[in-house]
Amino acid sequence: MAPMGMKGDGDADLHEIDRFGRGVGWIAYPGETMERASHAVAVPNEERETDDVWVFDPVDAPGLDDLLSELGTVAGVVVGLDRHKRDCAEIATRHDAPVYVADWMTGVADELDAPVERFGSRLADSGFEAFRIRDSSVPPWQEVGFFDGETLIVPESLGSASYFRGARERLGVHPMLRLTPPTEALSGLNPEQVRVGHGVGISDRAAIAVEDALSGSRRKAPGLYAKTLRSAIGI
């Protein structure tokens, strides 16, 4: 069988990652280089018997609905990056839930075939603060991060997939942002765990992993680019 390549297609195969107290993550195409990761977090709802489940940047896969039902009832599906529309609309429609898009994001809501709710500095009743990581036209990039005091969700600027990580990094800054890392947005949060949109999350010494990634971003950029080039040409 040929290698899957950067982005998987065809039949998905749900691979669970990042299981933690109130949530779970998964990769729908475990063999792909991009390692597109999705997450769901359960939040207590005092008005009903089941928890609310918030689903972040999901890629669909067989068995996903069963996985989500273990956590509770889907309250919303969230787009954390303008390019991460992924399967948000399809999953939201199946669960009769809206797709949540930051109120400052442009060019996203109109491309979603599902009801859309906007949010500002808080993601509805999820318990997550929402903050702007990047909003730029060069490169085109609209990304919102989420933090509830314990769990930090970073859709794109940080990742653990191999093409994000420089030498001895557990997390790395996205290759396109290596020279302009989002230090102001992400430094000083001290999360207990980090969930990312590409790769397995970090639960051990997560705050240190974030700070190391940001502080070493520029310095380790040449090595990362060289590694990527060697991989591309098969050296």
Tally of structural domains, the chain: 1
Q: pTM surpassing 0.95? A: no
**9 inside domain:** no
**52 inside domain:** yes
**1 inside domain:** no
Q: Write out the two tokens for 15.
A: 């691979």
Alpha-helical segments (H) within 43-137: 64-71, 88-94
Q: For the segment 35-80, what is each residue's pLDDT rounded down to a tens digit? A: 999 999 999 988 888 899 999 999 999 999 999 999 999 999 999 9
Across all residues in the chain, what is the average pLDDT? 92
**pLDDT for res 138:** 87
**222 inside domain:** yes
* Beta carbons within 8 Å of 146's beta carbon, 6+ residues apart: 56, 78, 80, 123, 126, 128, 129, 130, 131, 152, 153
**145 inside domain:** yes
Q: Residue 166: which CATH number?
A: 3.60.15.10
Expressed as residue numbers, the domain containing 173 is 15-233
